Amino acid sequence: MTQASTQANFPRGVDLLRDPLLNKGTAFTERERDQLGLRGLLPPPVRTMEQQALRVMANVRSKPDDLERYLYMIGLQDRNETLFYRALVDNLEELMPVVYTPTVGKGCQLFGRVFRRPRGLYISADDRGQIKQVMRNWPRQEVSVILPTDGERILGLGDLGASGMGIPIGKLALYTACAGIHPGKCMPVMIDVGTENEEFLNDPLYLGLKRHRLKGDEYDALIDEFMQACKELWPDALVQFEDFANHNAFRLLEKYRHTHCTFNDDIQGTGSVALAGLLSSLEVTGRRITDERVLFLGAGEAATGIGEMIAATMVQAGLSHEEAQRRCWFVDSKGLVVASRTDLTHHKKPWAHQAEFVKTLSEAIEVIKPTALIGASGMTGAFTPEILQAMARINDRPVIFALSNPTSKAECTAEAAYVHTEGRCLFASGSPFPSVHYQGRTFSPGQGNNVYIFPGVGLGAIAVRAKEITDGMFLTAARVVAELVTDEERATGNLYPSLKRIREVSGRIAVEVAKQAFREGLAQEREPASVEALVQSLRYEPDYVEYV
C-alpha cells in the first residue's frame, strides 16, 4: 500500500472517483476496488490506461467540431487528470489546438454557457482585504505555478472578463503536458474586476461581476494584495501574468519582476518565441541577426516584447543599444511610430525613430525596406497580397510571421504567404495552419507559439527556486529552440522543432534556464553536480500508480 493510501484522509469510494487527480476510472485493479470501497461502483472489467486512451481518442475524433472536442477534453480533465494528460502528451499535435489556441478562444467566448464545474481560483473585487484568506481555500498545499488573468485582453478577442478563465486553465495544462510540471501544483486564477464587454454585462448567463472594471488605485491595491498573498503563502511559486491589457501589463511586469519570481508571457514569452523563429531563419537566409530590419504591425505588449528580445540579441552580437533599436520599426493604428508623433504611449517611445511619418503599412515597407515583417495586431488579413508581394520584391527570402491569435485573427494565412511570395518566404503563425501545396512543393509551416518557451522557462525557474526571471533566461530559451530545429524540419518550411519533440525542447530549455539562474546568482538552490538530473527529478509523467 502506498503512503497516500495509508493516510486516514485518503478518499474512498465515490469520493475517490470524484477526485480527478486520484481517479483511475475503470483502471482500478481488483484489489484496489476491494480495499478502497469501489466494488460495484465501476463496470466489472479492469482496463489498462492504453485501452482507456484508445477510447478517449476515438471519442475525440467522433466529435463534429473542435468546440465539441474541447468540451469533451475539459470534461475528461475534470474526471481523470492522469488519463487527460496521457492522451494529451501522446497526441499533442492533434490535441493542443483543441485544448488551447485556437479553440480555447471560442471556449472562453461561450464560457458562461458551457460551464460545468469550477476549476481554478476566483478572486473578485469584492474580496479586497481578505484575498489571503480566499487563497487559503485552495485545496492543495504545494503550489509551483500561479497563473492569473483579469480577462481584459484574451488572445485577440478583447475583454472577456471572467469568461477568460479558460486561458489559465488551458495554459497550465500545457505546463504539465509540455514540461512535466505536476498538475496538482498548478493554480489557475481569475481576478474578476468587472468587464467593459456590454454583451456580457447584459447576458444572464455571464458568470462574472456585472459591473464596469475596477481601475486606478483600487485596481492596483487589489493586485498588490494578491501578489503579497502569493509571496506569503507560496514564496517559491512562479507567478505568470496572462492576457492583461497593455496599460496594465507593462507596468505590472516592471513593478513585480524584481520582487517576485514572475513574468508576462504575452511580452517576454512572445518575444522569445518570435526571436527563436528569426534565429532559425538565419540558417536558411545566411544573414546575421544584425543584418535584419524588422517591421512590426502592432505596437502592443506582444510586438514590443519581440522588439526587446531582438534588440537585446543584436546588442550581444555587437551593436549598440541605440543601433539595435533602430533595426526595429513599428506601425500602430495611426501609422509608423516615429519621433515626431505626440500621441505615443510610454512603451512605444523607445521605438520612435527619426523618419518621415507615413500612415499605412504599405508605405512603411517602402520606407523601411524590412527583411522581416511580424504581425501582432489582431487585424485579420492585414498582410494583403500587395503587402506580401512587396516583401518578396524587396527580399529574396522574406520572413513573414503572422502571430495574432486565434487563427481567425491572423494577419494572413500560410497559403497566402507562400503563394504571394512565390514560395520564397519563411513563414510562421501564432495558430496552426494546414500544409500548403504550391508549385510541386509541400510546405508545413510551424507555429510561433509560446508553448515552445514558457513551460521550459517555468520548469527551470521552479527547479532552482529562482528569485526572479530575467530577459537573459528568455534569450537563452530562444537560442535553445532555434538550435533544436533540424535541417529536415527547415526544409519543409518549419522554423520550429516538431511539436512531437516539445517535451525534449522544454527539458533542454529548463536545464539551460536553471544554469542561467545560477550564473546570474538568482537561484536559491545549491548548484548540483547535474542540473539535468535535478530538472528530470521534478518532471511528472502521466502514469497510474497503485494505491494498495
pLDDT in tens, 259-276: 999 999 999 999 999 999
**What CATH number corresponds to the domain at position 308?**
3.40.50.720
Quick check: is 247 in a domain?
yes
Average pLDDT over all residues of the chain: 96
Same domain membership, residue 421 and residue 276: yes
Which active-site residues does the annotation give?
100, 171
**What's residue 8's pLDDT?**
60
* Each residue's pLDDT tens digit, 83-135: 999 999 999 999 999 999 889 999 999 999 999 999 999 999 999 999 999 99
pLDDT category of residue 7 using cuts at 50, 70 and 90: low
Instruction: Tell me what the mean pLDDT of segment 51-70 comes to.
Output: 98
Quick check: is 542 in a domain?
no
Instruction: Tell me what the mean pLDDT of segment 412-425 comes to.
Output: 98
**What's residue 60's pLDDT?**
98
Same domain membership, residue 414 and residue 277: yes
Instruction: Tell me what the mean pLDDT of segment 379-385 comes to.
Output: 97
Which residues have CB under 8 Å from 266's CB, separation 6+? 153, 241, 242, 243, 244, 249, 301, 302, 305
Same domain membership, residue 385 and residue 437: yes
**What's residue 407's pLDDT?**
87
Same domain membership, residue 482 and residue 383: no
Quick check: is 531 in a domain?
no
**What CATH number corresponds to the domain at position 234?**
3.40.50.10380
Quick check: is 325 in a domain?
yes
Residue 427 has pLDDT above 60, yes or no: yes
Quick check: is 529 in a domain?
no
Provide the percentage of residues in the chain whose pLDDT is more than 70. 99
**What's residue 406's pLDDT?**
86
Same domain membership, residue 310 and residue 169: no
Which residues have CB under 8 Å from 466's CB, separation 6+? 261, 460, 517, 522, 523, 524
Q: Are strands 186-192 and 145-149 parallel, antiparallel or unpaired?
A: parallel
**What CATH number corresponds to the domain at position 12?**
1.20.1370.30
Which residues have CB under 8 Å from 220's CB, separation 6+? none
* Each residue's pLDDT tens digit, 440-471: 999 999 999 999 999 999 999 999 999 999 99
Same domain membership, residue 297 and residue 182: no
**What's residue 6's pLDDT?**
47
Same domain membership, residue 367 and residue 316: yes
CA-based angle 440:442:448, to the nearest 5? 150
**What's residue 373's pLDDT?**
98
484-488, Cβ contacts within 8 angstroms, sequence gap of 24 or more? 484/508, 485/280, 485/283
Quick check: is 548 in a domain?
no
Same domain membership, residue 508 and residue 426: no
Domain containing residue 506: 452-520
Same domain membership, residue 445 and residue 510: no
Same domain membership, residue 299 and residue 420: yes
Residue 9 has pLDDT above 90, yes or no: no
* Each residue's pLDDT tens digit, 467-500: 999 999 999 999 999 999 999 999 999 999 999 9
Quick check: is 488 in a domain?
yes
Domains contained in the chain, number: 4
From 429, 449, 469, the end of a domain falls on 449
* Each residue's pLDDT tens digit, 329-341: 999 999 999 999 9
**What's residue 4's pLDDT?**
46
